[in-house]
Amino acid sequence: MTRPQKLLTPGPTSVPPAVLAALAEPVLHHRSPDFAEVFALAQERLREVFRTEREVLVFTASGTGAFESALVNLLSPGERLLAVSHGEFGERWQKMAVALGCDVVPLRYDWGATPAPDDLRAALTDTGARTVLLVHSETSTGVVSDLEPLLSVCDEARALSIVDAVSSLGAVPLETDAWGADVVVTGSQKALMTPPGLSFAAVSELAWEKTGRATLPRFYWDWERQRRAQASGSTAFTPATSTVVALVEALGIVLADGLEAAFARHRALGRACRAGVKATGLELYSPDSDDAAVLTGALTPKGVDAVALRLALRDRHGITIAGGHGDLVPRLFRIGHIGYVTSDDIAEALTAIETELERVGVEVEVGRAAPIALEAYGDAIAA
Amino acid sequence: MTRPQKLLTPGPTSVPPAVLAALAEPVLHHRSPDFAEVFALAQERLREVFRTEREVLVFTASGTGAFESALVNLLSPGERLLAVSHGEFGERWQKMAVALGCDVVPLRYDWGATPAPDDLRAALTDTGARTVLLVHSETSTGVVSDLEPLLSVCDEARALSIVDAVSSLGAVPLETDAWGADVVVTGSQKALMTPPGLSFAAVSELAWEKTGRATLPRFYWDWERQRRAQASGSTAFTPATSTVVALVEALGIVLADGLEAAFARHRALGRACRAGVKATGLELYSPDSDDAAVLTGALTPKGVDAVALRLALRDRHGITIAGGHGDLVPRLFRIGHIGYVTSDDIAEALTAIETELERVGVEVEVGRAAPIALEAYGDAIAA
């Protein structure tokens, strides 16, 4: 038997049994009244988690696909674009925009940094760019940007904002309409507790206006075609219907407790994980801050291979955590705590980490972190 | 309770319970040894159904997405392209190629026609095009092209072929390597008996060479990036992991009996459906030919609304069939018989159709078509 894995990764995440059961319902035809009903419910619930009144566009694709849709619907070849980056994903969007033929001006921070509104304001003035790429939760580092003031700067400069909220939406506060984000992109497989295969884009009126002038070539990603199809209860091209059914179930679970409860829970999970990691004596890589509620990054002690640690967790404990990107591969590991994750899952992972560190000769007190993490969670939830 | 629907549509199709059960397995992380193992098995089985030695590229997208990937990886802005069309899907690919900025020369037949090698040869000579779009199974009409001689013409003219095999692959013979198709595109949700959400492209060495010179912008669809990722056991961007698990199960079921058995079964299902439709006194729209093994199109008697007929089948019998496109909406209905469909399913649908025709005053003998269809199936399988 293959050992089942608990996914403590920043996506794909483990999903509730009820969501898996919904996924396994008989397949629906995408041009049928049954699907139209499910799709309408998906729309209603997506609007709630996006905190928007807008139609949410649904793509059968990963989050990268929905992000590409934003670029090709809003920009023209050679058009200037300000791309803010502070980690792997911000850099991916820069590469994407270059590949698609935009004139990309990077506002590039070191990995792990948090972008500052003043830098953004200055960059917008210097470059004259009128489109900005922002990363809300930089999944490679655990940094969650303070999005609201960044969006205010975009608004002042009358620049359109495109926000990567792939690992943040549903985990940490994001007020699409109230904060004036023009395009917010997310995926099904993170805090929305659904298997991978769907991604979403909420689009402002200002952004819709811009699409008419944007000339980058597009067909699969064409928003206008998609909006027309959605108005008649489906998508332009055959969607992952089973995953839409699962999404409706998952969003129902999220919304039953309410989004505020989800934010509080993720904040508490972040506190628990950081308290436990510190109790183990490991160095935090992600910020030691309540904002960093998506994942906790930590560095192994010098000489301890993070890749081997992850494999040991997987093979001996049935726990999958994530590694680092680039230069950080040998020492960084990342514990995701979004979606269907409990404080007990975190405690279990911390004990497994201690066990494996001890096995390779690191001096740790196995069993120390778990109660500290559980207490931190309890305190945070009670507060 | 919502009545469960039997999908007799040319995709998405109903899938076997074992495939739904596989879909509902706990979510796998896409960068894990567990997923790499599943992905390797998916590759092995995809190669068998494609009848190819090539790596098969896997996209999280509908078939339209994988088709777009072929255009953006093989063509440059303004490059000439010969697009053969004889129905809705051929016309879609023409529109797509125009939207992406190609110089599209259409070889356009009336809907329901079958493209002829001589026409293709002449068009290639006249236009000098070196890339050709072909539709193997035109899902809007039921016509399955005789692909092999068309591909020979492409080969003679040293033109690259891009084949839409979305509804044909796994149902009717298609020898990717032996027939020299350069790019063959299909989707998960048709004869491959898997829910929608994945699409595939098998790419020849000649096509790979061309990608280096093709300059249409691409990122999500970039084949080279995808090939590199697949070499390490995953995809470039988070794939629909659960659907890949389901695909492996579904292809295992298809290949247990062998592809030849699948082709024979689909041919027999086509015969059964045509015999039954004719016994009911309806006019066939799709060809009355063994090639037309994907779906059977029929016209309602004058004055009988095909849309109302389909809704009646759905609401009173739990059977979903497909309608027509464009001008054909009022009279055409299409019964799909690809994938997880039996002759008894066909017989059940035919009886339901007779029942509903009688209800609106058409003179039919309810119960006449079913035994004729079952007998035609039995004879075809025995032959």
pLDDT at A3: 73
- Tokens (6 digits) for B98: 């125009």
Rounded to the nearest 10 degrees, the angle between the axes of helix A343-359 and helix A306-317 is 120
Residue A4: list chain B partners with CB under 8 A. Answer: 26
ipTM exceeding the 0.85 mark: yes
Q: Please indicate if any CB of chain A lies within 8 Å of the CB of B62.
A: yes
The CB density around residue A152, as the number of other CB atoms within 10 Å, is 15
Beta bridge partners of B132: B82, B161
> HSE of A312 in the Cβ direction (CA atoms, 13 Å)?
18
Give the position of tokens 């990691």: A277
pLDDT tens, A87-136?
999 999 999 999 999 999 999 999 999 999 999 999 999 999 999 999 99
Burial class (CB in 10 A: 0-12, 13-18, 19+), A303: exposed
Q: Tell me the mean pLDDT in the region A2-31.
A: 94
Amino acid identity of residue B221, one-letter, is W
Asked whether the beta carbons of residue A68 and residue B30 sit closer than 8 angstroms, the reply is no
- Tokens (6 digits) for A340: 């269907």
Co-location of A312 and A283 in the same domain: yes
Residue B189: list chain A partners with CB under 8 A. Answer: 27, 238
Q: Is residue A7 a part of any domain in this protein?
A: no
Assess whether pLDDT exceeds 60 at residue A255.
yes
Co-location of A207 and A285 in the same domain: no
- Tokens (6 digits) for B34: 């567990």
Q: Which of A209, A228, A256 is the last residue of a domain?
A: A256
What's the start-to-end Cα distance of chain A, in Å?
A: 43
Co-location of B216 and B90 in the same domain: yes
Co-location of B291 and B243 in the same domain: no
Is the pTM here over 0.95, yes or no? yes
Co-location of A343 and A374 in the same domain: yes
Assess whether pLDDT exceeds 90 at residue B302.
yes
Co-location of A35 and A45 in the same domain: yes
Assess whether pLDDT exceeds 90 at residue B383.
no
Domain CATH code at residue B331 = 3.90.1150.10
Q: Is residue B7 a part of any domain in this protein?
A: no
Q: Please indicate if any CB of chain A lies within 8 Å of the CB of B20.
A: yes
How far is C-alpha B210 from the chain's CA centre?
Answer: 26
Q: Which of B256, B276, B292 is the last residue of a domain?
A: B256
pLDDT at A383: 85
Q: Is residue A275 a part of any domain in this protein?
A: yes
Assess whether pLDDT exceeds 60 at residue B1.
no
Q: Is residue A220 a part of any domain in this protein?
A: yes
Asked whether the beta carbons of residue A197 and residue B5 sit closer than 8 angstroms, the reply is no
Q: Please indicate if any CB of chain A lies within 8 Å of the CB of B64.
A: yes
* Interface size, chain A vs chain B, as Cβ–Cβ contacts under 8 Å: 179
Quote the CA–CA distance of B308 and B301 in Å, as a whole number.
Answer: 13
Asked whether the beta carbons of residue B65 and residue A237 sit closer than 8 angstroms, the reply is yes
Co-location of A226 and A297 in the same domain: no
Co-location of A153 and A57 in the same domain: yes
Which residue out of B1, B31, B62 would a mutagenesis test of the A interface target, given it has the greatest number of A Cβ atoms within 10 Å?
A: B62
pLDDT tens, B43-73?
999 999 999 999 999 999 999 999 999 999 9
Q: Is residue A2 a part of any domain in this protein?
A: no
What's the start-to-end Cα distance of chain B, in Å?
A: 43
pLDDT at B2: 63
Domains in chain B, number = 2
Amino acid identity of residue A206, one-letter, is L
Phi, psi of B205 (to 5 degrees): -60, -40
pLDDT tens, A221-250?
999 999 999 999 999 999 999 999 999 999
pLDDT at A150: 98
Co-location of A218 and A284 in the same domain: no
Q: Is residue A285 a part of any domain in this protein?
A: yes
Domain CATH code at residue A222 = 3.40.640.10
Type and span of the H or E element at A310: helix A306-317
Quote the CA–CA distance of B340 and B246 in Å, as a whole number.
Answer: 14
Type and span of the H or E element at A197: none
Co-location of B233 and B289 in the same domain: no
Q: Is residue B11 a part of any domain in this protein?
A: no
Provide the domain limits for residue B78.
Answer: 17-256
The CB density around residue A283, as the number of other CB atoms within 10 Å, is 13
Co-location of B147 and B287 in the same domain: no
Q: Is residue B215 a part of any domain in this protein?
A: yes
How far is C-alpha B25 from the chain's CA centre?
Answer: 27
Co-location of B250 and B351 in the same domain: no
Q: Which of A218, A240, A256 is the last residue of a domain?
A: A256
Asked whether the beta carbons of residue B27 and residue A12 sit closer than 8 angstroms, the reply is yes
